[in-house]
């Protein structure tokens, strides 16, 4: 979803010698200490004991521990240490015989807003406080507040905005109701006709806090008087997703007649509304929200 990664680890200033007899590749260059990524995205969740690990490494395993200090490049940092995040230990080590070590960070969920644009740039120093000779001795870590998933946030009254299957090119908005089937499955009740519901599968982000995608397998969405049964489904490679901070979700759906052809891909935007807002809209009253 979303990581922009530049893999530098053991990639620059390396001279390789290949044996013609057995094709074995040997490294025969200087020993660099590098962060494996120059840009990382760190989820900050309600579990403030959860740690985020930033990996660095060397091309050669040494016969002794290699000790470094972690510093912050304040020129390229706007997150506040001790408030938005902490470094668990400023002293980090690559153990003897190993090639990688980690810098561990923890974030503070309650000190962040969802729309904050926060980042910290880390540098490695040797134990004398000097920057060692490296190819890439820094990495930028962006902090993201990830709200917990609760399917109940999307049940009840939802305002649906869409253009298809209506005969106008302008956006049509109307109310629908949703109900929970289980902790990850939501039913949209009869959005387009009285005979067909839509069943949606939400990724609960338990394994990956950045995974807020929604799946909808092929299913009949409505029956048209001319075309007959019309189906919809999410699209491989194009994510439909939910927005926990807004209690909303966006479906990008392929609309088609099974075994015949597609009408195209369309957006369907669902926004939760309170019972009071829903009642006002049913009565034709426009309310601020």
Q: How far apart are CA 138 and CA 135, in angstroms?
A: 9
Are the C-beta atoms of 218 and 233 separated by less than 8 Å? yes
| 161 and 62 housed in the same domain | no
pLDDT value of position 20: 40
User: Of the residues 145, 161, 185, which one is the last residue of a structural domain?
Assistant: 145
Q: How far apart are CA 90 and CA 106, in angstroms?
A: 13
pLDDT value of position 58: 86
The tally of domains found in the chain comes to 2
pLDDT value of position 282: 79
DSSP string, 7-49: B-TTTSS--EEE-TTT--EEE-S---EEESBSEEEEEE-S-TT
| 111 and 163 housed in the same domain | no
By residue range, what is the domain housing residue 265? 151-282
pLDDT value of position 3: 38
- The model's pTM is 0.80
pLDDT value of position 40: 97
pLDDT value of position 209: 92
Instruction: Point out the residues of the chain with pLDDT beneath 70.
Output: 1-31, 128-136, 167-168, 283-289
User: Of the residues 115, 145, 175, which one is the last residue of a structural domain?
Assistant: 145
In a domain, 29, yes or no: yes
Q: How far apart are CA 197 and CA 180, in angstroms?
A: 12
């Amino acid at each position: 979803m979303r990581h922009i990664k530049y893999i530098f680890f053991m990639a620059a200033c390396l001279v390789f010698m290949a044996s013609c007899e057995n094709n074995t590749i040997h490294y025969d260059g200087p020993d660099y200490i590098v962060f494996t990524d120059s840009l990382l995205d760190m989820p900050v969740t309600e579990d403030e004991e959860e740690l985020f690990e930033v990996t660095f490494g060397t091309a050669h395993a040494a016969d002794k521990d290699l000790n470094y200090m972690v510093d912050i490049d304040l020129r390229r940092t706007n997150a506040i240490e001790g408030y938005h995040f902490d470094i668990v230990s400023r002293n980090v080590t690559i153990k003897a015989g190993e090639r990688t070590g980690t810098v561990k960070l923890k974030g503070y969920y309650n000190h962040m807003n969802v729309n904050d644009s926060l980042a910290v740039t880390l540098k490695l120093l040797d134990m004398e406080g000097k920057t060692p000779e490296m190819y890439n001795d820094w990495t930028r870590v962006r902090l993201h507040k990830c709200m917990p998933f609760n399917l109940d946030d999307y049940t009840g009254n939802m305002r649906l905005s869409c253009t298809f299957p209506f005969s106008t090119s302008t956006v049509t908005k109307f109310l629908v109701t949703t109900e929970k089937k289980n902790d990850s499955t939501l039913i949209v009740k009869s959005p387009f006709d009285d005979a067909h519901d839509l069943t949606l599968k939400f990724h609960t982000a338990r394994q990956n806090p950045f995974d807020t995608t929604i799946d909808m397998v092929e299913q009949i969405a409505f029956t048209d008087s001319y075309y007959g049964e019309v189906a919809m489904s999410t699209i491989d490679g194009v994510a439909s997703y939910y927005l926990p901070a807004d209690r909303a979700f966006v479906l990008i759906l392929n609309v088609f007649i099974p075994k015949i052809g597609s009408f195209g891909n369309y957006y369907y935007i669902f926004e939760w509304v309170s019972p009071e807002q829903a009642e006002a809209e049913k009565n034709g009253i426009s309310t601020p929200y």
